[in-house]
Chains A and B, each alone.
Chain A
Amino acid sequence: MSRQTVRSGDPRKVSAELFTLTYGALVSQLVKDYENVDEVNKQLDKLGYNMGIRLIEDFLARSNVGRCHDLRETADVIAKVGFKMFLGIVPTVSNWSPSGDEFSLLLDNNPLTDFVELPEGQSNLEYSSILCGVLRGALEMVQMEVNVWFVQDQLKGDNTTEIRVKFIRRLEDAVPVGED
């Protein structure tokens, strides 16, 4: 007798396994296409950026979140609303820099890396660097220029997965004509 797993059948959701494996297919294709690991990381970041600039619209439309007043509030919204909405996880915000322009997102589990093991010789691959691109793209669309990078990754044997976000500046000239 076959056992059937039943998901909730919510039309706004999709199987996390399909998502994870699809992302895996993309990464492995990139690794095949580019021989240089740095180039793969860069491509993943770029694809993420493209996702981010579109994803923010969906985020603003559905979340009902108003304008953030400082970076601390932004960080909270990213973790508690953004990540929750799109990946179903809530990272912990921590490791603030003394000047308050840099923080870390700590991920206990990363849905992108279920079923994933980095093969030997791929230790420089930033498997989830698409997340950096997404954050960069999405924040750019709300007039914030940021740098995003991985500090630790469970895939590489670290205890936790840590994404570092550094605020660079407010983009003033990015406001479209007729707004504000």
Chain B
Amino acid sequence: MASILQRQKSSILDRPLSKGKAEVNLSTFALLFSEMVQYCQSRVYTVPELQNKLTEMGHHVGVRMLDILFLRERTFKREVKLLNMLLFIKTNLWKTLFGKEADKLEHANDDERTYYIIEKEPLLNKFISVPKDKSSLNCASFMAGIIEAVLNGCNFPAKVTTHWHKGTTFMIKFDESVIARDKTVDGR
């Protein structure tokens, strides 16, 4: 009995949430990420498969970051407007993860469902040189996974893909329903 009580006491949910100021050496992270990419590569055959695998791993991080950020920074308030949601990612999420805002947020001229977040030099790619025969590979797909999980977790279903354009561009394509809903929210 006593031991059970003790275990419950030290449960992770009983400990205070960290303030998020802790940091580790960039090299440690870069080496870890490099091993992740190599591991993923050893289990797939093509570049798109590799990117999908990295995106999946990003989901794992994204859903957890979402919890942390909303608890810590927004005092439980959810986000209902599309633009604010995107700004939240561009500022809060990016600052927590990388210590800076994302470089740019843009809306596609020809498609109201598509937005772009542009990062000239993503931290994830800092120490990665892409082999010539795999020039389309962008390991920032991991970040795309994080963004996707955050959007989906806030009920803004979207698909996020990674492209080499002005550095790295994350293309966010929202579900029709999101745009339709946002118009009704705006109307009020």
Contacts and interface: CB of A to CB of B under 8 A. Distances in A.
A49 B38 CA distance: 13
Contact of B96 (A5, A9, A51): A5
Interface string A50-65: 1100110010000000
Contacts of B123: 14
Interface stretch (A67-75, A81-89, A97-105): A81-89
Contact of A47 (B39, B53, B61, B100): B39
B65 A17 contact: yes
A17 B18 contact: yes
Contacts, number: 145
A14 B28 CA distance: 9
Contacts of A4: 73, 91-92, 95
Q: Which of A13, A23, A30, A116 has the largest count of B CB atoms less than 10 A from its CB?
A: A13
Given A2-B73, A28-B60, A15 B35 contact: no
Given A15-B96, A51-B32, A51-B35, A7 B23 contact: yes
Nearest to B18: A114
Nearest to A87: B24
29 contacts: A2-B92, A3-B74, A5-B19, A5-B20, A7-B96, A8-B99, A13-B24, A13-B25, A14-B23, A15-B97, A17-B20, A17-B65, A19-B29, A21-B61, A21-B65, A24-B60, A24-B61, A25-B57, A25-B61, A26-B35, A29-B56, A43-B39, A51-B34, A51-B35, A55-B27, A55-B28, A86-B27, A87-B24, A114-B18
Nearest to A15: B97
B73 A88 contact: no
Contacts of A58: 27
Closest 8 CB pairs of A and B: A16-B22, A25-B60, A13-B23, A25-B57, A21-B61, A51-B31, A47-B35, A86-B28
Contacts of A23: 32
A14 B26 contact: yes
B61 A22 contact: yes
B154 interface: no
A114 to B, nearest CB: 7
A22 B24 contact: no
Contacts of A88: 22-25
Nearest to B74: A2
A26 B58 CA distance: 10
A22 B36 contact: yes
A18 B22 CA distance: 10
Q: Which of A2, A54, A86 has the largest count of B CB atoms less than 10 A from its CB?
A: A2
A15 B27 contact: no
